[in-house]
Amino acid sequence: MITRSRWLALALTVVLATGAACQARDDRPSRTGHPAPAPAARGFTLVASGDVLPHMSVIDRARFDAGGTGYDFRPMLAGVRSVVADADLALCHMETVYGENGDYTGYPTFKSPPEVARALAATGYDGCSTASNHTLDDGADGIRRTLDALDRAGVRHAGAARTEQESRTVTMHRAGAARVAHLAYTYDTNGIPLPEGQPWAVDLIDEDRIVADARAARSAGADVVVVSVHWGTEWQDAPDDRQVALARSLTAARAGRLPAVDLVLGTHAHVPQAYEKVNGTWVIYGMGDQIAGEMVNHDGAKDPRGNQSTLGRFTFAPPARPGERWQVTRAEFVPQLFDVDAGRVVNLNRALERGAEVKAVRDRIRDVVLSRGAAQDGLVMGK
């Protein structure tokens, strides 16, 4: 029997072979009569951000921004476009599924306008994780509409699938000279069962499976493996014990001479959580909500932390020697806020430069992000 991980390896081999054929080195002689030198491998920057969670107030704002006809989410994200678009690879987390023909809903069962996908693409996102506790809010139809819309917008996706074959195919990105595999998993689907006959529709967190999938991606040629995990305890600034344990095991796993995983991106908790270097690999326990309506915590109180988040930005350098891993040479976080009144994502450091009174919010996010010693491992705050 061919295992899922073996299928992943086979599928990824085809993807990589196609890319290699397009990017083969030109060995034709130069004017000197010698083969043209191969270009030096260059590094790349990767930017990642947290949950896109459009409540009805957010949807209403997008309709207003579209002039009352359709929905335009691009102005909401314009404040971070420079950070996102400047990256070689930018990844988001699309927490909700899409509806159609005006049938859009917010909490507790989300169906968002598909125009969100166009806004993500216009902001510069190359791909999104789509495995969350809301992935099955509208069953298999919701998954299909969401992935179809992302495809039309040119935004790749990982974590949910329309077909069994798609579930076996690793999402692969080119970033500089690197091939970056993106895997995504969720802790649960709010108790909604997987669609009948489609156990592959959403990728659920299972340590052995994640490691096997990462090894399959690595063995098929991925230079860097990024794992998105929808996990943790809502409204808790600190990572819970399960997050910490899984982070340790994933970052300790090996794929031959290399680590199985190069970066872990966490979502779900609604609040920013710490960054930490674990076993030599960066882990973001929680990036927070990039887009969400006014949030109410489990105590029934309005909680502004639910509109605070970070962008993670990592600069990767190629291996010093063949067979070694791509190294993160610079790790940064960019604090951001979703202004629920204006309906805009705000880069807090840029806002401070313009005189906005957001220093206390910026500093609170900074303190949480650095609460597990990431500054000693080189994490810095960026703009």
Structure tokens at 135: 């992935």
Does the residue 252 lie in any domain?
Answer: yes
**Angle (deg, nearest 10), helices 207-219 and 4-22:** 30
What is the rounded average pLDDT of the residues 255-267? 97
Does the residue 17 lie in any domain?
Answer: no
Confidence of residue 149 (pLDDT cuts 50, 70, 90): very high
Does the residue 262 lie in any domain?
Answer: yes
Does the residue 33 lie in any domain?
Answer: no
Report pLDDT for 173: 98
Q: Give me the domain span that covers residue 117.
A: 42-381
Number of H helices, E strands in the chain: 11, 17
Could you report the per-residue pLDDT of 166-211, keeping only the tens digit for each? 999 999 999 999 999 999 999 999 999 999 999 999 999 999 999 9
Question: Strand pairing of 224-230 and 254-255?
Answer: unpaired
Contact 143, 178 (CB under 8 A): no
What one-character-per-residue DSSP string does 231-243 give? -S-TT-SS--HHH
What is the rounded average pLDDT of the residues 56-83? 97
pTM, rounded to two decimals: 0.90
What is the rounded average pLDDT of the residues 70-98? 98
Does the residue 15 lie in any domain?
Answer: no
Domain of residue 200, CATH code? 3.60.21.10
**Number of domains, the chain:** 1
Q: How far apart are CA 77 and CA 125, in angstroms?
A: 11
Distances (CA, A) of 300 to 52, 92, 179, 295, 370: 22, 28, 45, 9, 28
Q: How far apart are CA 115 and CA 77, in angstroms?
A: 13
- Name residues whose C-beta falls within 8 Å of residue 351's C-beta, 6 or more positions apart in sequence: 337, 358
Contact 309, 338 (CB under 8 A): yes
Does the residue 5 lie in any domain?
Answer: no
Does the residue 327 lie in any domain?
Answer: yes
Does the residue 186 lie in any domain?
Answer: yes
